Amino acid sequence: MPVCSGADTEGLRAALERTQGFALAGVVSFGIAGGLEPGLRSGDVVIGSAVVVADGPRYETDPELSAILTEGLAAAGGKIVSGAIVGVEAPVLDPAAKAALRAKTGAAAVDMETHIAAEFAARRRLPLAIVRVVSDPSTRALPPLATTAVTPDGGVDFKAVFRDLAREPRQIGDLVLAGLDARKAFSILGRCGRLLGPLLSLGLPDL
pLDDT tens digits along 194-207:
988 888 887 676 54
pLDDT of residue 149: 60
Q: pTM for the complete prediction?
A: 0.82
Q: Where are the domains of the chain?
A: 25-203
Assigned superfamily of 25-203: Nucleoside phosphorylase domain (3.40.50.1580)
* pLDDT in the model for residue 207: 45
- Contact of 30 with 131, CB cutoff 8 Å: yes
Query: What is the model's pLDDT at position 148?
Result: 61
What are the residues whose beta carbons fall under 8 Å from the beta carbon of 174, sequence distance 6 or more?
A: 141, 142, 143
pLDDT tens digits, the chain, 207 residues: what are they? 666 666 667 777 777 777 776 777 888 999 999 999 999 999 999 999 999 997 788 999 999 999 999 999 988 877 999 999 999 988 898 999 999 999 999 999 999 899 989 998 998 898 999 999 999 999 988 766 566 666 555 556 556 665 766 677 666 766 777 778 888 998 999 999 898 888 888 767 654
DSSP at 29 = E
Q: What is the Cβ-side half-sphere exposure of residue 134, based on CA atoms within 13 angstroms? A: 29
Q: Which three-class secondary structure string do you get for 113-146? A: CHHHHHHHHHHHCCCEEEEEEEEECCCCCCCCCH
